[in-house]
Structure 1
Amino acid sequence: MMQPAAAELDIHLRILASRSDSSAAQVIPDAIIGDYHDYATLRGAAKGSDAVTFEHEHVPNEYLRALIAAGFNVQPQPAALINAQDKLIMRQRLQELGAPIPAFQAINSAEEAAHFWAQTGGHVCLKARRDGYDGKGVWFPGSEAELVALTTQLLKKDTPLMAEKKVALTRELSILVARRPSGETKEWPITQSVQRNGICAEAMAPAPDLSPQLEKRARDLGVEIAQSLGVTGVLAVELFAFTGENGVEDIAVNELAMRPHNTGHWTQDGSVTSQFEQHLRAVLDLPLGATEETAAITVMANVLGAPEDPQMPMRERVREVMERYPAVKIHLYGKAHRPGRKIGHVNLCGTDVQATREQAQAAAHFLVHAQWPDTV
């Protein structure tokens, strides 16, 4: 999704992809097929580049440091990226910054897990410190015994763990910020997301019914984190919203992502500058684009693979959606069907939150199931 923006800005992209049929390799002509775990391959892909950046946080930091030592411009740099790679390090650094976060603890034994259960009154979320995404590597044990058994099992598999106090959230928000190496930052309007089975199903911006005070706090928090951690490119700060002691909505940081993020896909059609174009501008230290929204509300609905792929070809489903909802913008990823897999998303700009949500959801539903929901 960076390729159209790159072409328009006369930026040449090269992709290191694991497969020739991967989404990016399908649209970026200069594609090198290889494994990013192999340093020689990684360095070969970086040769001649003005900047090296990523679509996920899992590239080994020792390789990134080696690229920097060899004279390559890596953005974001490993010192920032580690805070998105390791959830415990992230929590510790955010605590040092004074950012609002849930109570947390490193879990190195079943005894430590049991102690944390007692400390939090059983409100425990257990997390793998590394490699978790889309609900993977996150567990909500229903009892102390279940927590202890789960911890024992995972530690035997050499899975580094941490635990944090489960937040009684009222909704999930995110603030996306872009920062360039020379220091300029731009943030987008606050996004509200809806998770189903640990996967982002829907996002809307600006977040409805958000107080000006909380909006400013979230914006300031995102900028402070980006600047303090030295993040470059797009940073997504995922937030838990909850009812504070005074009955007023408050926020705590959930996780960080240092790349274009699913909750920012709405910016493709609902913002002056998309997160994909902005990420390119930022890592190349170019002036950042305006981030104002272009509609009263923009809704993004993910297209997640159905339990069984319908017989109707996707191109016919796309045509049906076009005919019923001509304002819907469809973005497919060129991925084969797999149950629950993100194979695309739709964006819809509108003026009424509920009507826009219903139409975006209906469009995504048809792309998934080849039938309209009963509510339409």
Structure 2
Amino acid sequence: MRVGVIGGGQLARMMVPPAIELGIELRVLAEVEGSAAGIAATAVGDYRDAATVVAFARDVDVVTFDHEHVPQPVLAELAAAGIPIRPGPAALAVAQDKLYMRERLAALGAPVPAWAAVHDASELGDFLAAHGGAGVVKTPRGGYDGKGVRVVRAADGADDWFAGIDEHASGGALLVEELVDFRRELAQLAARRPSGDVAAWPLVESIQRDGVCAEVVAPAPGGEALTDAARDLATTIAAGLEVTGVLAVELFETADGRLLVNELAMRPHNTGHWTIEGAVTSQFEQHLRAVLDLPLGDPAPRALWSVMVNVLGGPAGETMPDRYPIALAGEPAAKFHAYGKESRPGRKVGHVTVTGDNLDDARSRARAAAGFFQN
């Protein structure tokens, strides 16, 4: 069995250990030499070039992704060549354009914030006037980790983005949403195989800093009342969009206790990294099983609590392994994951996870372990 992964980031890197364990041959098409996934059999090429992608994919049984940015015309060339693509082009189209995502979620009856497509400052002003004078503007394509997202309180608050809209990519519109009054951010991950079987992990809490996921707690503390609703919502979305592989549904828990869908990701997700140590089947193993249409593994947690803390930025002038002598000795209960990336402000260069029976202790140890890699 051979799986081709387009994209050479840390998500592809973390598919390598379960691929080895299952005897799956993993091949990666990376953007540059020295990528995070360079520990796998790696080719280097432009994922936006159809000839490059098709040539890479001809010797694998199925193609999957480290990111959702492969253009639809390239996906069409893969499909025309008879190469299985999971998730498929129709599902990926939803993840690639936030306006289309809102349309499809609305059609499925999924709860979402009030939203609109706005083409100019006048339309943006009308939306703000109808929603308390504030809104969240998003670029339909390309935004991630806080990029392409902006809170606005005036009609001219997105003029620079309106000036740079790509008419062909997003229909000349930006997405604006209500500024949601939420208690916290949650995430529900599930995996679906082509035959339709779905397995879901526990609902988790995601703590954001500057628009970037900083910590994840599994399961979400006090989230028992939302568990069934979140799992059913992810299952409905996975089936309705015919997602194959891991689906992450990022959620707001509103001040009045409702769930609203914020974003979707159709690949392993930062909020699922805790599953490597904290679940019977990790999201990376499950993704490989799903795209190969193998029976799904048990997603049950292996400990009462798992806390994952991202290492953001990393030690200046050093790598994470440079700090291992003190870090591994200081927190021997923590599990350390380095992504093979150079330190850079705000960059995700790794993560640590601690599991245990006491949430406060696990959180304290995970934060301390990540702290060894900050200056």
* Counterpart residue identity of residue 260, structure 2: A
Instruction: Select which of 122, 127, 131 maps to 2:133.
Output: 122
Q: Compared with structure 1, are the counterparts of its residues 313 and 220 closer, same or farther at alpha carbon in structure 2 (3 Å cutoff)?
A: closer
Consecutive unaligned residues of structure 1, counting only runs of 5 or more, are 370-376
- Aligned residue for 1:176? 189
Is the contact between residue 280 and residue 300 of structure 2 (CA under 8 Å) also seen in structure 1?
Answer: yes
Q: Compared with structure 1, are the counterparts of its residues 313 and 263 closer, same or farther at alpha carbon in structure 2 (3 Å cutoff)?
A: closer
- Aligned residue for 1:239? 251
- Aligned residue for 2:303? 295
Cα distance in 1 for partners of 2:32, 2:332 equals 34
Q: Compared with structure 1, are the counterparts of its residues 234 and 119 closer, same or farther at alpha carbon in structure 2 (3 Å cutoff)?
A: same
Please give the TM-score of this superposition, normalised by the length of structure 2: 0.93
Instruction: Select which of 239, 242, 246 maps to 1:227.
Output: 239
- After superposition, what is the alpha-carbon deviation per residue over 1:254-299, rounded to whole angstroms, capped at 9, x for unaligned? 0000000000000000000000010000001011000000000000
Instruction: Select which of 142, 163, 173 maps to 1:131.
Output: 142
Q: CA deviation at 1:151?
A: 2.5
Cα distance in 1 for partners of 2:158, 2:199 equals 41
Cα distance in 2 for partners of 1:86, 1:253 equals 15
Number of equivalences: 356
* Counterpart residue identity of residue 188, structure 1: W
CA RMSD of aligned residues (A): 1.2
Cα distance in 2 for partners of 1:98, 1:202 equals 30
Instruction: Select which of 141, 160, 168 maps to 1:153.
Output: 160
Q: CA deviation at 1:163?
A: 0.2
SS in 1 for 2:344: coil
Please give the TM-score of this superposition, normalised by the length of structure 1: 0.92
Asked if residue 7 in structure 1 is aligned to residue 20 in structure 2, the reply is yes
Q: Compared with structure 1, are the counterparts of its residues 7 and 312 closer, same or farther at alpha carbon in structure 2 (3 Å cutoff)?
A: closer
Asked if residue 250 in structure 1 is aligned to residue 258 in structure 2, the reply is yes
Q: Compared with structure 1, are the counterparts of its residues 348 and 92 closer, same or farther at alpha carbon in structure 2 (3 Å cutoff)?
A: same
Instruction: Select which of 83, 90, 105 maps to 2:94.
Output: 83
- Aligned residue for 1:326? 332
Asked if residue 348 in structure 1 is aligned to residue 354 in structure 2, the reply is yes
Is the contact between residue 92 and residue 266 of structure 2 (CA under 8 Å) also seen in structure 1?
Answer: yes
Cα distance in 2 for partners of 1:34, 1:209 equals 46
SS in 2 for 1:334: coil
Instruction: Select which of 198, 203, 224 maps to 1:190.
Output: 203
* Counterpart residue identity of residue 222, structure 1: A
Q: Compared with structure 1, are the counterparts of its residues 257 and 311 closer, same or farther at alpha carbon in structure 2 (3 Å cutoff)?
A: closer
SS in 1 for 2:202: coil
Asked if residue 34 in structure 1 is aligned to residue 45 in structure 2, the reply is yes
Consecutive unaligned residues of structure 2, counting only runs of 5 or more, are 1-13, 167-172
Asked if residue 285 in structure 1 is aligned to residue 298 in structure 2, the reply is no
Structure 1 runs (4+) greater than 3 angstroms displaced: 309-314
Q: Compared with structure 1, are the counterparts of its residues 312 and 129 closer, same or farther at alpha carbon in structure 2 (3 Å cutoff)?
A: closer
More divergent stretch after superposition (197-206 vs 156-165): 156-165
- After superposition, what is the alpha-carbon deviation per residue over 1:139-193, rounded to whole angstroms, capped at 9, x for unaligned? 012x31xxx3233221211254110001111111000010001111100000101
SS in 2 for 1:202: strand
- Aligned residue for 1:260? 268
- Aligned residue for 1:269? 277
Instruction: Select which of 323, 345, 361 maps to 1:317.
Output: 323
Cα distance in 2 for partners of 1:107, 1:156 equals 13
Q: Percent identity?
A: 50
